[in-house]
Amino acid sequence: MNVARLVGRFRGRRGNSEVDGDSLHIQFLEDSEELANSLSVIPSETSLKERMLLYFLAKEWVVDSNILELGPFLGGTTKALAKGVASSLNGNRKVLTIDRFDSYYSLAAIESMGVAVPGSLKTAPNAPFKSIFDSIHSGKPYFDKIVAHTMAIPDKPVDSIDYSFLKEYSPFGAVFVDGCKSWYSTKNFCSGVVDYCRAGTYFLFQDYGRYTCFWIPVFAECFPESLQLVGSVDSTYIYKLISPLTAERIEERFPDSPQEIDRSELDKIFDRVIQRERIRKNYSALVSCRIQHAAFFAYVGEKERAREMLKALYSEGYVRGQLARRVEAAMKSPTYTPDSDVTL
What is residue 146's predicted lDDT score, i.e. its pLDDT? 98
What is residue 3's predicted lDDT score, i.e. its pLDDT? 52
Q: Quick check: 162 pLDDT over 80?
A: yes
What is residue 128's predicted lDDT score, i.e. its pLDDT? 76
**Cβ-contact 324, 310 below 8 angstroms:** no
What is residue 6's predicted lDDT score, i.e. its pLDDT? 55
Higher-scoring residue by pLDDT: 227, 107? 227
What is residue 287's predicted lDDT score, i.e. its pLDDT? 98
Reference 97, options 205, 183, 204, 178; nearest CA is 178
pLDDT tier for residue 121 given thresholds of 50, 70 and 90: low
pLDDT tier for residue 189 given thresholds of 50, 70 and 90: very high
pLDDT tier for residue 36 given thresholds of 50, 70 and 90: confident
What is residue 125's predicted lDDT score, i.e. its pLDDT? 60
What is residue 102's predicted lDDT score, i.e. its pLDDT? 73
CATH of domain 32-253: 3.40.50.150
Average pLDDT in the 82-88 region?
Answer: 95
pLDDT tier for residue 119 given thresholds of 50, 70 and 90: low
Q: Is the pTM of this model over 0.85?
A: yes
User: How high does pLDDT run on average in the chain?
Assistant: 88
Q: What is the 3-state secondary structure (H, E, C) of 140-202?
A: CCCHHHEEEEECCCCCCCCCCCCCHHHHHHCCEEEEEECCCCCHHHHHHHHHHHHHHCCCCCE
Q: What residue ranges do the domains of the chain occupy?
A: 32-253, 262-342
What is residue 1's predicted lDDT score, i.e. its pLDDT? 44
Calculate helix-pair angle for 263-280, 283-299, nearest 10 degrees.
Answer: 170
Q: How far apart are CA 226 and CA 220, in angstroms?
A: 9
pLDDT tier for residue 8 given thresholds of 50, 70 and 90: low
